[in-house]
Structures are given as structure tokens and as C-alpha cells.
């Protein structure tokens, strides 16, 4: 009998080596190589756990397109991110920082989905009694919601075959292990093999499945990168635990857009969907304070109004600080350089802090003009009209460039009572008249400066 072969797998990037090395040659992380026994391919094939035989190859012209029926999760914001609901047979991966609310979101969704039939919630981190305590706090009363505490993959699939639920949730996939691998639970090999078998089981039985995943300190899903490729949708739950707001963002979605976001508020009785995020983010906005500007960011089809805050103060240190929260640090540095070059502001000896209120993160360039004016407002100690909305991308020459979906942004501002919008001139020409809002077009930061400062 051949001796079992061992390989050394990096727990950070998944690279493999024939011998132990102190430093991974791929990702250059130290002490991440762990010994694992290589499992023969034949053994893994027999242990696949499929319950139905795969149909033979068929001509694509003779196939009937799937109707793509969806199950509502009972949480409007989650359905929005998924593209309308949970698709039967799909596998959804939800990740986020510890304590952000992943398990709470899954438990609330399963409580509603259990109205269609049995829903199985498998936890590898909590006992059934602990889950019951959280369910009582959330007010969850669902007789068809079945709770199971198990980390053994074969035991989980056996229970799923016997119960035949409409949806299966595994919290978390990093705790699940299979006996066919000698590696420890949470290792690259165990996560990859366990997830592959769960995905195979869900596809063969047309079973919707939710996997809860841990994330690394860099914000990526823990485990092999192939984990995101195997699932149909990868959702990231983000937010500052010091703030009550949470944002659910899709980084992959085979059945919907990856631009939509869901906004939640964490309360004592669980996560509550926020129907009007703009009003919530602007509820505590200070009035007539230098450095405060309101911008409109579009996430998918939804425009969201948020407040940008900037603080500029003289520094006593040799090197001035540049700190940003919610905006790209390099882009803010670029805008500061434009202010110094084009507007003559001497910002080199000043600390500059820029923050998006509410813990929101904005990635689109439409926030450029607002961030630039917020910094200038704080530096000059001049206030910007609180009833004015600012939209526009700023180029290196100081020009204000057009952005998309300007009409939706302006209408959202009108709905919340704003009386004036500063937009790129090229966008203003194509903008229909919006009642109760005066729209001014600008071609350069100098024109915006003259209008607001």
C-alpha cells in the first residue's frame, strides 16, 4: 500500500509546496504553511454526496429556460441586493466583520422563508440553546425553522436529505470539516472541499443555500479564493460597529446587479431595513458649519444623499496628516493637490481630515466636487448653503466633468427639500426641469467656488 503523501498548503493564499517553508513563496506571509494529507481523487469522487444523477448532455436549442422564480426573504433590502429574492438552487455567501450582524440577518431571513416549508439553520459556532436566546430577542417565532448544531459535513448533508428543506443555512463554512481530509477545520483544503460538496448538493437538489463566511483583517473572505467563484452570489456586510447603520453590498451576483446596496439599522430587536437612507443619514447634519457639504451618491438604481465633512487645522508637526474615512485616500490627496495648484490654497502645513457621516463608503467620482469644496470651506472658515446639493467629478485641470444619473440625484434632493443643486454644465443641458429645485451648471471648480464660497 502506497504511503499517504503530504503537501504543505498556505492558509493565506492557498499555494502548495512539497516541503515546509517558513515563508510562503507566493504571498510571502510567514508561518502559514500547514501540512495536509493529499486525498486520492477517486475517494473524493465517491464521497461527493450527490442525491440525484446528473442529466446527460443536451442540445442548447432543446432546453427550456428557467423561469427564475424567486423566494422573498421578507427583508426588502436583502431582496434588493439579491436582485429580487432568493433563487432556488442558488448558493449565497455572506461575509463581514465579527459582530456585524451576519447571523442575525440570516436568522431573520430564514424565519420568513420557513413559511414556504422547512428551513434548516446549521450552526458550527453556537448551540441550539444559544440560537434560541437570539431568536427570542429578535422575536422570531417560526415552527418550520429547524436548528441544528453540527460541524461534520457528512452529518449536515444527511440531515438535509432527510428534512428536504426549502433553504439551508450554514454558519459558518469555516467551521465545517469532512473526514476525507486529514487537515484541521478552517484550513484551505477543508473549506474548499466542504464548500464544493455543499454547492454540488444544492445544485443537484435545487436547494437554496446560504453560507456565512469569516473575513480576514484585509476585508477579504477567509479561505481559498475559489470559494467566491463557486457560489452564485457573494455579499459583504459592512459598517462600523460604533454606528447603528449596516450596508449589505454584492461583490458578485449571477442573478442580479452588483451595484445595488441594502441599508439596515441595528436595533435591540434585530436588523431593520431602512427605506429612506438619505433622510436617515442627514437627520443629524449640522447647519451653518464650515466644512459640511451634501452630495448624492448612486448605488445601483438608488440615489443616496450623504454628508461630507472636512476639518482643516494647522499642524505643529513636521509632516501634515491626511486622514479619510469613507472615501478613497488617494483620490482625496489628488483633490487637495488640485486645490493648491488651481485655487492657490496653501494646505501643506495643515492637517486635513475628511469623513463621510454615518459610516458610509463612497467609491464613485461624483463625490469629487463635494469633497473639494468641503476642504476649502473648512480652510477658509466659510459655510456652504445647507440647502445646496453638490455633484460632479473633478479633473486634474480643475474642470468639472459629467456624471451619470444626474436626474435621479436631483429628484432625490427635491424630495428631501433641497432648493439648489450644483451639477456639471454638460449634465445640466440634458437635465429636464425639476420642480422646486434651482439647478446651476459649472464647468470648473472656479465657477463652483464663486457660486458657493
What whole-number distance in Å separates Cα of residue 252 and Cα of residue 236? Answer: 10
Question: Beta strand 233-238 with 245-253: parallel, antiparallel or unpaired?
Answer: antiparallel
The cell numbers describing 358, all together, are: 454615518
50 found inside a domain: no
| Residue finishing a domain among 216, 246, 274 | 274
> What pLDDT is attached to residue 39?
55
What whole-number distance in Å separates Cα of residue 10 and Cα of residue 24? Answer: 7
Backbone phi, then psi, for 94, in 5-degree steps?
-120, 125
> What pLDDT is attached to residue 34?
77
C-alpha count within 13 angstroms, C-beta hemisphere, residue 22 = 0
pLDDT score of 423 more than 60: yes
180 found inside a domain: yes
58 found inside a domain: no
439 found inside a domain: yes
Tell me: do 428 and 335 sit in the same domain: yes
| Residue finishing a domain among 274, 298, 317 | 274
pLDDT band at 173 (very low <50, low <70, confident <90, very high): very high
> What pLDDT is attached to residue 48?
44
- The model's pLDDT over 126-146, given as tens digits with 9 standing for 90+, comes to 999 999 999 999 999 899 999
The cell numbers describing 22, all together, are: 517558513
What whole-number distance in Å separates Cα of residue 367 and Cα of residue 228? Answer: 30
C-alpha distances in Å from residue 170, one per residue of 121, 134, 154, 167: 6, 16, 13, 10
- The model's pLDDT over 79-88, given as tens digits with 9 standing for 90+, comes to 999 999 999 9
Tell me: do 180 and 311 sit in the same domain: no
Say which residue the cell 499517504 belongs to.
4
- The model's pLDDT over 82-129, given as tens digits with 9 standing for 90+, comes to 999 999 999 999 998 888 899 999 999 999 999 999 999 999 999 999
Tell me: do 236 and 133 sit in the same domain: yes
Which of the pair, 92 or 258, is modelled with greater confidence? 92
Average pLDDT over residues 74-78: 92
Using a CB cutoff of 8 Å and minimum separation of 24, what contacts does 154-158 make?
154/49, 154/178, 154/179, 156/122, 156/198, 157/49, 157/197, 157/198, 157/201
> What pLDDT is attached to residue 45?
45
Tell me: do 259 and 166 sit in the same domain: yes
Backbone phi, then psi, for 383, in 5-degree steps?
-85, 150
Tell me: do 113 and 249 sit in the same domain: yes
Tell me: do 218 and 293 sit in the same domain: no
pLDDT score of 41 more than 80: no
Tell me: do 368 and 387 sit in the same domain: yes
- Starting at the earlier edge strand, list the strands of the sheet with 438-442: 322-325, 350-356, 302-314, 292-299, 388-390, 420-424, 438-442
Q: What percent of the chain has pLDDT over 90?
A: 57
CATH number, position 348: 3.30.230.10
Domains identified in the chain, total number: 3
Using a CB cutoff of 8 Å and minimum separation of 24, what contacts does 241-246 make?
241/97, 241/99, 241/100, 242/359, 243/358, 243/359, 245/274, 245/280, 245/281, 245/358, 245/359, 245/360, 246/100, 246/101, 246/271
CATH number, position 121: 3.40.50.300
Supply the range of the domain harboring residue 388.
Answer: 280-452
Largest CA distance in the chain: 84
401 found inside a domain: yes
pLDDT band at 68 (very low <50, low <70, confident <90, very high): low
pLDDT score of 44 more than 60: no
350, 353, 354, 358: CA torsion to nearest 10: -160
Instruction: Give the length of the chain.
Output: 453
What whole-number distance in Å separates Cα of residue 335 and Cα of residue 309? Answer: 15
C-alpha distances in Å from residue 202, one per residue of 20, 81, 88: 36, 21, 9
380 found inside a domain: yes
> Residues 352, 321: contact at Cβ < 8 Å?
yes
The cell numbers describing 35, all together, are: 501540512
pLDDT band at 51 (very low <50, low <70, confident <90, very high): very low
Tell me: do 230 and 311 sit in the same domain: no
Say which residue the cell 461534520 belongs to.
152
| Residue finishing a domain among 251, 274, 297 | 274
Tell me: do 245 and 380 sit in the same domain: no
59 found inside a domain: no
> What pLDDT is attached to residue 4?
60
56 found inside a domain: no
Amino acid at each position: 500500500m502506497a504511503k499517504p503523501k503530504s503537501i504543505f498548503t498556505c492558509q493565506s493564499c492557498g499555494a502548495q509546496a512539497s516541503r515546509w517553508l517558513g515563508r510562503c513563496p507566493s504571498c510571502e506571509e510567514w508561518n502559514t504553511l500547514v501540512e495536509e494529507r493529499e486525498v486520492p481523487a477517486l475517494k473524493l469522487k465517491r464521497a461527493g454526496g450527490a442525491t440525484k444523477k446528473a442529466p446527460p448532455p443536451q442540445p442548447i436549442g432543446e432546453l427550456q429556460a428557467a423561469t427564475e422564480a424567486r423566494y422573498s426573504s421578507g427583508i426588502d433590502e436583502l431582496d434588493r441586493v439579491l436582485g429580487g429574492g432568493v433563487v432556488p438552487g442558488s448558493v449565497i455567501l455572506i461575509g463581514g466583520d465579527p459582530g456585524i450582524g451576519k447571523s442575525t440577518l440570516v436568522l431573520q431571513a430564514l424565519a420568513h422563508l420557513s413559511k414556504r416549508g422547512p428551513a434548516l439553520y446549521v450552526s458550527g459556532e453556537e448551540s441550539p440553546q444559544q440560537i434560541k436566546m437570539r431568536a427570542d430577542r429578535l422575536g422570531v417565532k417560526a415552527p418550520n425553522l429547524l436548528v441544528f448544531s453540527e460541524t461534520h459535513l457528512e452529518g449536515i448533508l444527511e440531515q438535509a436529505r432527510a428534512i428536504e428543506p426549502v433553504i439551508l443555512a450554514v454558519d459558518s463554512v469555516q467551521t465545517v470539516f469532512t473526514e476525507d481530509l486529514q487537515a484541521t477545520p478552517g484550513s484551505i483544503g477543508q473549506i474548499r472541499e466542504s464548500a464544493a460538496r455543499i454547492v454540488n448538493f444544492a445544485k443537484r437538489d435545487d436547494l437554496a443555500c446560504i453560507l456565512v463566511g469569516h473575513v480576514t483583517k484585509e476585508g477579504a473572505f477567509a479561505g481559498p479564493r475559489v470559494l467566491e467563484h463557486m457560489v452564485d452570489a457573494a455579499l459583504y456586510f459592512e459598517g462600523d460597529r460604533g454606528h447603528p447603520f449596516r450596508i449589505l453590498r454584492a461583490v458578485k451576483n449571477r442573478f442580479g446587479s452588483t451595484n445595488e446596496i441594502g441599508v439596515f439599522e441595528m436595533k435591540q430587536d434585530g436588523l431593520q431595513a431602512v427605506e429612506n437612507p438619505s433622510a436617515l443619514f442627514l437627520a443629524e447634519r449640522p447647519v451653518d458649519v464650515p466644512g459640511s457639504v451634501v452630495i448624492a451618491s448612486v448605488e445601483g438604481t438608488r440615489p443616496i444623499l450623504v454628508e461630507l465633512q472636512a476639518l482643516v487645522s494647522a499642524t505643529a508637526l513636521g509632516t501634515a496628516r491626511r486622514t479619510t474615512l469613507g472615501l478613497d485616500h488617494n483620490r482625496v490627496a489628488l483633490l487637495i493637490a488640485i486645490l493648491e495648484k488651481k485655487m492657490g490654497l496653501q494646505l501643506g502645513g495643515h492637517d486635513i481630515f475628511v469623513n463621510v457621516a454615518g459610516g458610509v463608503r463612497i467609491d464613485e467620482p461624483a463625490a469629487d466636487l463635494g469633497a473639494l469644496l468641503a476642504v476649502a470651506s473648512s480652510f477658509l472658515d466659510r459655510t456652504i448653503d445647507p440647502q445646496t446639493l453638490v455633484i460632479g467629478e473633478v479633473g486634474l485641470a480643475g474642470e468639472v466633468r459629467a456624471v451619470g444619473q444626474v436626474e435621479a440625484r436631483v429628484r432625490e434632493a427635491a424630495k428631501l427639500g433641497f432648493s439648489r443643486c450644483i451639477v456639471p454644465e454638460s449634465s445640466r443641458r440634458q437635465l429636464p426641469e425639476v420642480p422646486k429645485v434651482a439647478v446651476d451648471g459649472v464647468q470648473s471648480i472656479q465657477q463652483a467656488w464663486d457660486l458657493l464660497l
